[in-house]
A and B are shown apart, each in its own frame.
Chain A
């Protein structure tokens, strides 16, 4: 995978004893009388894709928004590269290198690909927008992520297919020295070919050393890309571990009942990274 001499900072937990990029410990969050999260723990290592699964209402979006800075947890702590951090806004998150791609993609249809990718962060040259450097950088990012089906980078986003729009939204997220990318249901509205395109994109992100967290209902997608799986059930993190330890049936069981056929989770004994 990576050809560096040492594993990227924040890569796999356990195993070689390196800190995960993001550690979430004991997060509680309530909205009025409703408790959305109870003491949630989660590890997001760099260079790995973590699939966050759970039924509707389990708290996946709330947890994501706590990490993204949209909500502030009532209790608990988030650690980034080993340091405790307070993420009070989306800007704080972006400053740390945490980027989020929400389910609605947040793209402006009347703007083109370049304009969307730089929205809010346009570089200036002599007081005016530096269109040339934006176009160059956007083209470079898209080609690095091997998004090649787009005819022109100046195409209005409205004329792109669902998969291409998702690719643009992801490219927008990774362009800014991001270290963690959170994806909320990235393949929910996509057809088969487009889903494959997005999953390949996610794998490329991982191969570049980013930490990726994917919320998905689609267990096929999860098992295709995830290195780790975490399942939320009614606001509690009921299980978390390497994807190899799970199968579809057990994940569904955790999602719907919080247990796996009545037996508690036992991490496989070969958790040292060699199994």
Chain B
């Protein structure tokens, strides 16, 4: 397997030390465990060593998810947190943050930031909703979605061009974009009190409504799960075996098997939670929301782009050392502009999902673009994306989004009345600070070139 860019780099051997006299333990912590482990035992030992030297990968966010689940389950009235109906609601809410976090990740990897993802997301959602209105434009749903994504992409390209060509700091450009498009949003909506709704009895509009609210029949859900697990598992296994056959660097067989098993277990858990009847004995509500496969597709697409294409490789290179990338012949303005464009387009998709999540209703009260962007950045960083560039993966956005969604909804379940709103800010804020701290400390341990 490749050491995908985005894996946390390990600590250095002391620079003054001769190669020949490296302490074995230090040497072992230098290299990501899957590169040198020949057996599962070796891998686990090497991984633990790496964690102790400061590079924990997705461990913090996974632990945080577990802790949040346990704590909220304990304090929620009637221990309702882990009830399937609540969990599915959290899944639905989280998908918005997951998509926005994945969008933000692309830009964070460049060591830039996009503060406009929240506003752009809402713009995307509103454009799509407006285009399917009947009477009105009455576009087919897929045309409306594509048009919305294209508009958001253009917005991103504009911001990207200002950042990449004129070298105006992305913080400033996207802050301007955030304010600008928050205002334009109101204009498109038709006023501060206006709203746009989806009519769920119209088939064309129903499709968008169903993105989050629609459920896949349980049997179909299981079939899809089986297909996904088999496909992913086969791909992982074959690739690992092929690399081993060619004598290239590959993880131990048992590790690949465990990874496939983990995918299967998580998939099965999600499908079970979703297909348990969470309605009443009169009205069955069961099935995996369509949004879950949709997010998996987005995750798969971004993982592919970032890890296996030149474009993705150059994003990591620019985030790690822009001068090295430039000398290697990479066009920094082109990559940067495209990254911002694709980030905004992905955010637009997140906005469409947001509207669907809120039962097909878009008004100025649906969501606060400021809170959206802060949650997106928090989700990405908590998941493991570095604010300083060059480190992070799409899956980090997904995990961080799940955590943020869980915290946001969990707080509202506590019926704290007055305390609820402040806690919705305090908790994610606290978790974000912890995540950034871990990010900085692990960088210090790695001794990599500082981005001052």
Q: Identify the A interface with B (CB < 8 A).
A: 90-91, 102, 104-112, 114-116, 119-122, 124, 127-129, 131-132, 135-136, 149, 151-156, 158-164, 191-194, 197
Contact = CB atoms under 8 A, between A and B. Distances in A.
Contacts of A149: 19-20
Contacts of B417: none
Nearest to B447: A158
A154 B13 contact: no
B248 A132 contact: yes
A175 to B, nearest CB: 13
Contact of B19 (A105, A132, A136, A163): A163
Nearest to B327: A106
B321 A120 contact: no
A128 B249 CA distance: 19
- Most A CB contacts (10 A, CB to CB) among B19, B309, B313, B446 go to B19
A119 to B, nearest CB: 4
Contacts of A90: 327, 329
A154 B329 contact: no
Given A115-B316, A119-B317, A194-B19, 10 more contacts: A106-B327, A108-B325, A110-B9, A152-B36, A154-B35, A155-B3, A155-B31, A156-B10, A192-B18, A193-B20
Contacts of B5: 110-112, 115
A208 to B, nearest CB: 23
A159 B35 CA distance: 13
A131 B3 CA distance: 11
Contacts of B249: 135, 152-154
Given A109-B390, A115-B5, A124 B310 contact: yes
B320 A111 contact: yes
B452 interface: no
Contacts of B35: 151-152, 154-155
Given A108-B325, A129-B310, A154-B3, A159 B16 contact: no
Contacts of A193: 18-20
Interface string B287-317: 0000000000000000010001110010011
Given A107-B321, A128-B309, A152-B249, A161 B36 contact: no
Contacts of B323: 104, 106
Nearest to A113: B3
B444 interface: no
30 contacts: A90-B327, A90-B329, A107-B321, A108-B325, A109-B9, A110-B6, A110-B316, A110-B319, A110-B320, A111-B313, A119-B317, A119-B330, A120-B328, A124-B310, A131-B2, A131-B308, A132-B243, A132-B246, A135-B248, A136-B248, A155-B32, A156-B3, A158-B447, A159-B9, A159-B30, A159-B446, A161-B13, A161-B17, A162-B15, A193-B18
A68 to B, nearest CB: 10
Given A132-B246, A136-B248, A161 B15 contact: yes
Nearest to A196: B18
B7 interface: yes
Interface string B409-449: 00000000000000000000000000000000000001111
> Most chain-B CB neighbours within 10 Å: which of A112, A115, A151, A158?
A158
A79 to B, nearest CB: 25
A129 B308 contact: yes
A102 B5 CA distance: 24
Interface in B242-285: 242-243, 246, 248-249
Interface in B14-50: 15-20, 27, 30-32, 35-36
Nearest to A102: B327
A152 B30 CA distance: 10
Contacts of A91: 329
Nearest to B7: A156
A159 B11 contact: yes
A179 to B, nearest CB: 19
Nearest to A156: B9
Contacts of B243: 132
A257 to B, nearest CB: 35
Interface in B94-138: none
A115 B313 contact: yes
A151 B36 CA distance: 8
A191 B313 contact: no
Nearest to B386: A110
Given A156-B32, A161-B17, A108 B316 contact: yes
Contacts of A194: 18-19
Contacts of A152: 31, 35-36, 249
B171 to A, nearest CB: 21
Nearest to A89: B329
A83 B311 CA distance: 37
A128 B310 CA distance: 8
Contacts of A132: 242-243, 246, 248
B188 to A, nearest CB: 37
B324 A106 contact: yes
Nearest to B326: A106
A104 B18 CA distance: 21
A110 B3 contact: no
Contacts of A191: 15-18
Contacts of A121: 328-329
Contacts of A131: 2, 308
Contacts of B234: none
A120 B323 CA distance: 12
Nearest to A149: B19
Contacts of B9: 109-110, 156, 158-159
B452 to A, nearest CB: 14
A154 B446 CA distance: 16
B374 to A, nearest CB: 26
A120 B243 CA distance: 24
A162 B316 CA distance: 22
